[in-house]
Homo-oligomer: A and B are copies of this chain.
Amino acid sequence: MAAESMEQIVSLCKRRGFIFPGGEIYGGLQGTYDYGPLGVELKNNLKRLWWKHNVYERDDMEGIETALLTNRYVLRYSGHEQAFTDPLIDNRTNKKRHRFDHLLREQKPEVLAQLSRDFGLSEDSDDETVAAALLEDPKKAEQSLKAAKVVDPTDNKPGDWTEPRTFNLMFKTQVGPVADDESFAYLRPETAQGMFVNFKNVLDSTNRKLPFGIAQMGKSFRNEITPRNFLFRVRELEQMEIEYFVKPGEDERVHEEWIQDHMNWWVEEVGLDRDKLQLFEHVKLSHYSKRTVDILYKFPTLGFDELEGIANRTDWDLGSHSRDQQNLPLSDNTKEKALKNEHSVEKLTYFDHEEKKHIVPFVVEPAAGVDRGVLAALCEAYDEEALENGETRVVLRLKPALAPIKVAVLPLAKNKPDIVAKAKEIKRMIQAGSGMRAVYDDTAAIGRLYRRQDEAGTPFCVTVDYDTLGQSRDGSTDLLDTVTIRDRDTMKQERIAIKDLLPFLRERIGA
């Protein structure tokens, strides 16, 4: 039985050491999570699969890893200082703070209709449209909200509302010992900008020709007003992003190719069920986007939500970060909306040897969430299986490549030194011979150890017993130097010679 609620996943994560809330012994730090012993392996395995698929197995990609502390001008000219905001409003009566558009979404239709009329909008306008209109005239908005008796959903009473306002979601920090308005940096809100501002550095050091991409994995930070839904809406997140640079005109075809390629990746390599994936076409586009398509996964409790966004960012970013923009061949949208750049010392252009001229490449960006990927993999793999004896086992049916532990080596009796020594020796042999993550565990009886490995998603358990030592009960030594190997999914055990273990595991796990 698959996971029916996110609670089952959260509980497993804490119990088995996949994921813990951040700063728990001090009451937590909302919107942050710590990856435990199993979680860090699962996350790193997912990242490694992504890097292998997107960097190593292609001939047109370079990797990079840029600093998290980011020069403020990078995020001024990217548009984040202006646009990376959420609308906020406070209720003076109960001191509660709300995201303004979410507050409007929870009002009755007639309330929204009244606000729409006040601001000259059609009566069926949605919450985002109404919120945007009200933010244009906060004073008038305050009066309208009062007149319309907008209700606070936390206590179901009309609130005493402040003026709505925008709140920038970027974290700032003072850099260096002088506290003034100039000496701060942002924690990057996306890894993307580090790739754009290094476009020339990568080009010059690698001799790349269009089309080519830059890939990056790493942390980003968003000061969410209300972190929620476990790993889903957090303040510290990890991303896997690609900026793929093409000649203008090739962008639409390439965009479509990446959507298909990554849809297949989530199915074939991460193991997500294709029936639980959907594409979502954005109607309202960000200031930089020509088209954005999300890949959604159907999470328990949450329903369909975003795993990855794939945007056609046009020449927005390279254009925005270039000096002398007026002399560059930019697209209309970028020309019109990009802030005049008074700080960049570079033109982020590309010399097209065929056409003998400088161009500003277009960019297609597949941007996936690592934490959401981990969560989707866990949700997909989670299974509660009814056993013949009436008990239930929890088993994570992870793809072997994702499994935190590939093999657990278990001694049948932990008070028997010969068995323990042999088990540890086999663990080291597998570890050294294959590089596969192998562990030794003797902290419980064998049945319990199997259940633990099932919950961890370990594809195989190897058990060392008296037979292994040539001490079978019937006095025979036929089973000397053999072990049992147990399959996670079928729970079937077979006897195998120790010398055949490595080839067996290599074939079944594909390492």
Contact = CB atoms under 8 A, between A and B. Distances in A.
Given A24-B201, A36-B202, A171-B173, 6 more contacts: A17-B206, A26-B345, A27-B71, A30-B175, A40-B64, A219-B219
B35 A209 contact: no
A346 interface: yes
B66 A177 contact: no
Contacts of A34: 64-67, 194, 198, 201
A20 B68 CA distance: 14
A400 interface: no
A323 B37 CA distance: 25
A272 to B, nearest CB: 23
Contacts of A249: none
Given A69-B22, A201-B36, A52 B435 contact: yes
A39 B66 CA distance: 11
Given A20-B198, A440-B59, A69 B236 contact: yes
A313 interface: no
Q: Is the interface of A mostly helix, strand, loop or mixed?
A: mixed
Given A22-B66, A43-B65, A29 B185 contact: yes
A25 B200 CA distance: 9
A167 B175 contact: no
A34 B41 CA distance: 25
Interface of A: 14-17, 20, 22-41, 43, 52, 56-57, 59, 62-71, 73-74, 88, 97, 167, 171-178, 185, 187, 194, 197-198, 200-202, 205-207, 209, 219, 221, 223, 225, 235-236, 321, 343-346, 348, 424, 427-428, 431-432, 435, 437-440, 443-444
A27 to B, nearest CB: 7
A282 to B, nearest CB: 26
A37 B52 contact: no
A217 B117 CA distance: 56
A25 B225 contact: no
Contacts of A348: 25
Contacts of A207: 443-444
A467 B355 CA distance: 35
Nearest to A38: B205
A27 B343 contact: yes
Contacts of A68: 68, 219, 236
9 A-B pairs with the lowest CB-CB distances in the bound complex, closest first: A17-B205, A23-B71, A32-B67, A34-B66, A37-B62, A26-B73, A207-B443, A35-B65, A22-B67
